[in-house]
Structure 1
Amino acid sequence: MRGMEIRDRADLYKSYFSDCKAVEPVKSLLHKGVPVDKLDALEAIRALNTELSDLYMVEIPVITCWVRDSNYVPETREIYLTEPDLKDFLHNFRHHLQNIERRYERRGLTTEGNQEIAQMPYKDCLYKLRGEDDAIAWSKMLLDICNHKS
């Protein structure tokens, strides 16, 4: 069985998550403009990290930059960024939310409390890595919404 294409998944997410908690902070950052200076960009992403963590009521993942490829380490709850890139940060922050959602008391975290669609992020996937399709589509959906809303 062929999985759902990422573009289609991102479009589907727009119908379910267009008003998700992350929209306003990401839109605000994009409206201000992500700084060109790499250190300033990293500080802007770290501020967004704190804001999103507060909104989703999750511990703040540590962000480490310029050490290795962009990824999320569930054991240490650390986001590695090759460069301070908003898309990579959002992708890996979503993995952080997925990791926390695995705790029973946080079920529904990635679907903003909508239990009816709780398995949607993990069904009809292209990638074998659990949650990868969801993380890519969620970050794409957010950037699409935030770049097109006024």
Structure 2
Amino acid sequence: MSKILFILLTLFLFSCDSEPDINNPKHWSYEIHYKIESTDSIKPIGRIEFSRTKSIKDKLREETYNENWYPSMVFDIYNISDLKYCKEISRKLKMFSSCLDSHLGGDLIINNNYIFYNNSGCLNCTESENEIDYCRPVTNKILSELNLTQNSTLKDIDSEIGMKLKRNE
């Protein structure tokens, strides 16, 4: 009997999570921009901003800024023909950023003919006490699972993401 109780208690403890739906897309929204200002010779064709709609408890941020915390992440969208350029700017961003580990941006996600590049040197994704990254599990899953084809457009990307997340208006 004590063995069964021990096993049940162990299973219960491992299944407990303070926020079981931490990576649930229902707590996220997005906004897509079709025109981007850029002084670079190779320009993004669009930008997508992901933001969490349900705040996350972060004691340090609450004490410092006296406000709720909403993680967010932005990706510039490039054509696959710009892959060499994107890899280079990602490498430079990571090399010169003062942020480290999960706070560091420069992410590249490739899906068919598109590159999603996060150009933030420091991200607003990681909770200050437990170092949990609240952005990447959701954004990586959404962007990598887009059903894009050779002929997909930005509007197709917008429609695909719109089936998974609420769009900011």
- Tell me the TM-score normalised to structure 2 length: 0.28
* Larger RCO of the pair (alpha carbons < 8 Å, separation 6+): 1
Which structure dedicates a bigger proportion of its chain to helix? 1
Tell which structure's C-alpha radius of gyration is larger.
Answer: 2
Which structure dedicates a bigger proportion of its chain to strand? 2
- Tell me the TM-score normalised to structure 1 length: 0.31
